[in-house]
Structure 1
Amino acid sequence: MAMVMNYSLHLYHLKLKRCADADYEYKYVILGGGVAAGYAAREFVKQGVKRGELAIISKEAVAPYERLTLSKEYLLPEKPARFPYFYVCVGRSGERQHPEWYIDKGIKLVLGTEIIQVDLASKALVSASGDVFRYQTLIIATGSTPVRLTNFGVQGTDAKNIFYLREIDDADMLVEAIQEKKNGKAVIVGGGYIGLEVSAALRINNLDVTIVYPEQWCMPRLFNAGIAAFYEGYYAYKGIRIFKGTDLVGFTADSNGDVKEVKLKDGRLLEADIVFVDVETRPLTSLFTGQVEEEIDGIKTDAFFRTSVPDVYAVGDVATFPVKLYNEMRRVEYVDHAYKSAEHVVKVIKANEKGKTIDEYDYIPYLHSQVFDLSWHFYGETIGEAVLFRNWNPACSLRKFGAYWIKEGKIVGAFLESGTLEENKTIAEVAWLQPAVDNLDFVIKELGRSSKAIYR
């Protein structure tokens, strides 16, 4: 057996070393078919790309789409989002890039193709079917994937109707289960961004919904206790139960293998027809381990998204890059960064070809979510002292409220629920410019009146 494996490996390396063995060759290859790939393709078209120069290789069988739709409109019972509605680049009010768009622009979509081996030194990618793709310039845009509960030793995870969400196939299976388990019971494991959105969608589908998470409040990476109290109260107002400060230890299944109960660490048993899991995500970087420099679980890049390997770039969730505003290396898992980093790296590549330079990537963290009739925006950092302002009673018709984070006399983060377009622009400007605050009591008073920035 060892001799057979060594012989196969030898043949594989021979194929990589011989350029004539390449099945496909492109000037530019984007590995990954998510939002970053779609927005990078649009920027390539803007900057100028010849027919046949660019290929997008994706494990999914569909053209790049707005992935965040899967946890929102895709799950709704009435007028759910379906293709071609949410192909990129509608997330930034751009042209909808249906599959014919790529054909028209001369861009090759290599769909339903999993890359299982990468040799950056030889500039070659090998698919599960044995095809070899060569490139001159590679953009790594593989994104992140949910961590399965089996990694945490949870028992009974082989039961049916336990779901995660990354790709449209995952969403389709969840939609099918929602239709099969009408008026059933759903348990959401995890109080993060996606978990909260999916729990709202399931409640709109008239399921009995319970959320379970080990933290003391939901979304602890962003929310403080005050902000979380509003959303937890609002979810309770909508009929969703929340069990905080406890974790699950396993599942039970019925005679058909369908999930039946969720067993909690505190001994409680929760009936469940559907379980959705959102506990952690990890960047998909294993294909490149040992070939590129890594940092903070991602692929380390400079401010132009260049990796330690010439002609190889990384964007979106997988990139650990210098955030100029905070003067430190970070890895950002959110679609806004995927959009912007993808567009920026193409500008870098095309500028380099012309012997020109462009500015470094200058980014401020931004998050946004919509659930039920709520919509919040956040910019900046959640460090320092949080100052809450305006009304946050979940039962009140006026639900506009927000918070500023103040560190060392400056506002470094801003959050606003139910803001207008102009107000959301204002909090973005506040977080970006970090205005100084001389008197905290005065700020608290003024923020109770207005969401506008206070400059010294």
Structure 2
Amino acid sequence: MTFCLVIYLCYLELELLRLRNFKYLNANSNIIFRRAARADYEFTYVILGGGVAAGYAAREFVKQGIKRGELAIISKEDVAPYERPTLSKEYLLPETHARLPYFHVCVGSGGERQFPEWYTDKGIKLILSTEIVEVELNSRDLVSASGDVFRYQTLIIATGSTPVRLTDFGVQGADAKNIFYLGEIDDADKLVEAIQEKKNGKAVIITRNYFGLEVSKAFQKNNFDVSMVFPEDWFISQWFNSVIAASYHSYYKSKGIKIFKSTRAVGFNANSSEEVKEVKLNDGTVLEADIVIVDIGIKAITSLLLGQFEQELGGIKTDAFFRTSVPDVYAVGDVATFPSKLYGNENILWVPVVDHARKSAEQAVKAIKASEEGKAIDEYDYLPHAYSRSFDLSWNFYGIRSGGEQVIFGEMDHVSPLHKFGAYWIINGKVWGTFLQNGTPEENEAMAKVARGQPRVYNLNVLKEQGLSFATNF
């Protein structure tokens, strides 16, 4: 009896050891994933995510001289990394619209287009249509929905961000058909299909950002009756002041776009096919709608990583080299928060803009390779930069704006053929932010230089008189 008991206990111990190498992720479907025992694929470097940052990181790895087979990009999308800003602009136009491979990275910064063949030529494994459902930092494993295990030595998290949805707030009827959020190319494809189906229809754009201004142009070009709804007193208050916004209000109204400010959507009505037909606003207004676009914010995609990293401002906290609190794991782009060298390292920034996605990816790769070689690189010294274009307007904003005083210069009247004007944000007597509409590349560069240099201003009236020349002569 004692012998049998010993055999049985040994059996139980072996079973426990075996089960420790498995992870039961989905009891309903009885899917079992291997963990720790072995990996199906092993790479020196893995980029998790296939957005803008992934493409720019891959380019920097190539510049740094990686070997064939060392790097893999894992993306749940089925296309190689592309410039996402195109989705709200040329992608939606009825004519001369943009389609892949036209806007693969790194065309957004004037670089070579990285077609799928580019990755093959460079010896980079592009693993598409693959969703990672578990991240095991201790064993350095990434587990896919199909059960494949990818092991890394160094990981770059570039999962990006996802739109905030009205269903998150329980808005009545927000799950109706033809309510769109534009985050990935699949979303854009479905939106294009709806535009073609609802020709000459009515579109309602619920927005808080410049994305809504860009999309409104596309719908207007598609002969839709367009209404824009936003909760603030003026357009995109995080970048515009009230004077600039008023100019944009006037311009967009001249294009036939209806504007509903200081209001928000509180519900939707649908037809018998469950397609949206009306948008109900909190002031009692009801807008007819065949298509609704929602852009009320974004949030970093960190659900797989909760509790495994230090977090701040909703993103993964990193240092000035985009190292996380976990060794050999980096985070870049929309998913990362980082200390600001320009504004003091005690100030942590979350900057979900494409310019930062590109530059943070490059910085992380440089830091990885420098660490391997025992070298040092400069800290990330980022000047926040947002930009947009729609109709015949384009603008660039550099720096930050938070309180302070504003000096506006130029021709605010959009009847002017140049449509050129700008603004300086003065905080504690220094220029901290600059805005310029329809500037030349050289003028925009000058405005960026001023925002970075933060020159002192002694007389606001003189600054207004100098206008753009204050920057170009700086």
Alignment TM-score, normalising by the size of structure 1: 0.95
Distance in 1 of aligned mates of 2:318 and 2:208: 31
* Aligned 1:30-429 pairs, distance under 5 A: 30-327=47-344, 328-383=347-402, 384-429=404-449
Distance in 1 of aligned mates of 2:60 and 2:122: 12
Task: Say whether the 8 Å CA contact 2:21–2:36 is kept in structure 1.
Answer: no
Amino acid at match of 2:371: N
Equivalent position to 1:12, from 8, 14, 23:
23
Distance in 1 of aligned mates of 2:469 and 2:217: 29
User: What are the Cα deviations for residues 404-436 of structure 1, in whole angstroms up to 9, with x where unaligned?
Assistant: 001111111100001011111110111011111
Distance in 2 of aligned mates of 1:279 and 1:200: 18
Distance in 1 of aligned mates of 2:363 and 2:353: 16
Distance in 2 of aligned mates of 1:426 and 1:454: 8
1:232: how far off?
1.3
Distance in 2 of aligned mates of 1:318 and 1:269: 37
Task: Say whether the 8 Å CA contact 1:117–1:127 is kept in structure 2.
Answer: yes
Task: Say whether the 8 Å CA contact 2:463–2:470 is kept in structure 1.
Answer: no
Distance in 1 of aligned mates of 2:216 and 2:208: 9
User: What are the Cα deviations for residues 45-70 of structure 1, in whole angstroms up to 9, with x where unaligned?
Assistant: 11011111100000100000001100
Distance in 2 of aligned mates of 1:387 and 1:439: 10
- Range 435-444 or range 301-310, more displaced: 435-444
User: What are the Cα deviations for residues 204-239 of structure 1, in whole angstroms up to 9, with x where unaligned?
Assistant: 111110001111111011111011111111110111
Distance in 2 of aligned mates of 1:264 and 1:53: 53
**Higher CA-based Rg:** 2
User: What are the Cα deviations for residues 253-296 of structure 1, in whole angstroms up to 9, with x where unaligned?
Assistant: 11222110001111111000000000011000111111111111
Task: Say whether the 8 Å CA contact 1:47–1:347 is kept in structure 2.
Answer: yes
1:397: how far off?
2.1
Q: Which runs of 5+ in 2 are unaligned?
A: 1-17, 25-32
Distance in 1 of aligned mates of 2:201 and 2:258: 14
**Alignment partner, residue 434 of structure 1:** 454
**Alignment partner, residue 6 of structure 2:** none
1:122: how far off?
1.2
Distance in 1 of aligned mates of 2:75 and 2:366: 22
User: What are the Cα deviations for residues 88-141 of structure 1, in whole angstroms up to 9, with x where unaligned?
Assistant: 000111111000000010100110011111111110111111111100000000
Amino acid at match of 2:163: P
**Alignment partner, residue 29 of structure 2:** none
Distance in 1 of aligned mates of 2:385 and 2:300: 19
Task: Say whether the 8 Å CA contact 2:355–2:386 is kept in structure 1.
Answer: yes
1:10: how far off?
6.8
Task: Say whether the 8 Å CA contact 1:423–1:451 is kept in structure 2.
Answer: no
Task: Say whether the 8 Å CA contact 2:208–2:297 is kept in structure 1.
Answer: no
1:451: how far off?
5.8
Task: Say whether the 8 Å CA contact 1:191–1:211 is kept in structure 2.
Answer: no
Alpha-carbon RMSD? 1.5
1:16: how far off?
2.0
1:9: how far off?
8.4
Percentage identity across aligned positions?
Answer: 65
Distance in 2 of aligned mates of 1:425 and 1:353: 34
Amino acid at match of 1:338: A
Task: Say whether the 8 Å CA contact 1:38–1:65 is kept in structure 2.
Answer: yes
Kindly report structure 1 stretches of 4+ aligned residues shifted beyond 6 Å: 7-10
1:312: how far off?
0.2
Amino acid at match of 1:173: K
Task: Say whether the 8 Å CA contact 1:325–1:364 is kept in structure 2.
Answer: yes
Distance in 2 of aligned mates of 1:346 and 1:44: 6
1:453: how far off?
4.7
Distance in 2 of aligned mates of 1:85 and 1:113: 23
Distance in 2 of aligned mates of 1:146 and 1:236: 27
